[in-house]
Amino acid sequence: MTSAQKQAAVALAAAVALAGAGTGVWAAAQSGRAGDTSASRAAYLQPTPSASGCGGHGPSDWGMTGDRDGRGDWIGPSMTGGHPCGLSGNGRPVTSISQAEARAQDFADRLGLRVGEVMQFSRNFYAELRTPSGHRATEVLVHPRSGAVRLEYGPAMMWNTEYGMPMHRNAAQETVSAAEARGIARHWLDKHLTGRTPGDAEAFPGYYTLHTLRDGRVTGMLSVHAGTGQVWYHDWHGAFIAMSED
């Protein structure tokens, strides 16, 4: 079995293992592009299986399933495509945005990146990583109990065409604009999370990530695939607490 075949097998096994685990993935079927950028790609289906693919560790390690308070400690790291997809925990709890930023930067240094926006949720810390020139590169999670850092499962692994899993890099042409992505997100929220609205569509390689808002206040986030218009809601974070922008 070739290396590529092994990677594909790992991804398939992870997808089967996570089927029905509540990963927050919905498919948005394309039905043509509308001139007003409203969600013409509007046929939303049921949740579909997805894979975290990072060394076999899935969302359950961070409190998505079987550990809803997020007290399990993922320790990592493992290797995907020749670069670390995680940074081992150091056993020190991370309790503030500044501590989370420092841990995320330790990992970002390995990829030649820097930390941008950092957000604190009830189950984890989230950080975006940027290139030296300021472009958004990928997204990571910092575990609050162990201090472990890993590429965020979901879009950062499965859709990111530069920093994701090797078999997904350069996988799709980007045809969805930021305005369209926001329209798609608005339609999805109207259908699934009434009362919430999308923030700005922030571009990552292969997809957009948007904050979800209620009465102008952040409640969470979702991503829109830049090639297909699929929507992936990040349901693993828990309640929003605070954020510090780049």
Q: How large is the average pLDDT for residues 138-161?
A: 93
Q: How large is the average pLDDT for residues 181-201?
A: 97
> Average per-residue pLDDT in the chain?
74
Rounded CA separation 18/155 (Å): 15
In this prediction, what percent of the chain has a pLDDT beyond 90?
56
Q: What is the pLDDT of residue 76?
A: 47
In this prediction, what percent of the chain has a pLDDT beyond 70?
62
Task: Say whether 8 sits in a helix, a strand or coil.
Answer: helix
pLDDT digits (tens, 9 = 90+) for 9-40: 333 333 323 333 333 444 443 323 333 333 33
Side chain identity at 86, as an amino acid letter?
G
Whether residue 94 has pLDDT greater than 80: yes
Rounded CA separation 61/57 (Å): 7
Distance of alpha carbon 42 from its chain centroid, rounded?
A: 22
| Structural contact between residues 125 and 150, judged by C-beta atoms closer than 8 angstroms | no
User: Cα dist. 30→81, 173, 194 in Å?
Assistant: 31, 14, 22
Whether residue 53 has pLDDT greater than 80: no
Q: How large is the average pLDDT for residues 137-157?
A: 94
Q: How large is the average pLDDT for residues 175-181?
A: 96
Whether residue 224 has pLDDT greater than 90: yes
Query: 64-78, 79-93, 124-138 — which is least confidently predicted?
Result: 64-78
Q: Which helix (H) or strand (E) holds 183?
A: helix 178-192
Which tokens is 44 given? 């939303």
Residues 53/164/50/198 CA torsion (nearest 10 deg):
140
Q: Between vectors from CA 32 to CA 139 and to CA 197, what angle results, nearest 5°?
A: 45
Q: What is the pLDDT of residue 170?
A: 62
Whether residue 246 has pLDDT greater than 80: no
Q: How many CB atoms lie within 10 A of CB 109?
A: 12
Whether residue 6 has pLDDT greater than 70: no
The pTM score is: 0.73
Q: How large is the average pLDDT for residues 120-142?
A: 97
Handedness of CA 112, 117, 118, 124 (dihedral sign): negative
Which one has a higher pLDDT value, 45 or 114?
114
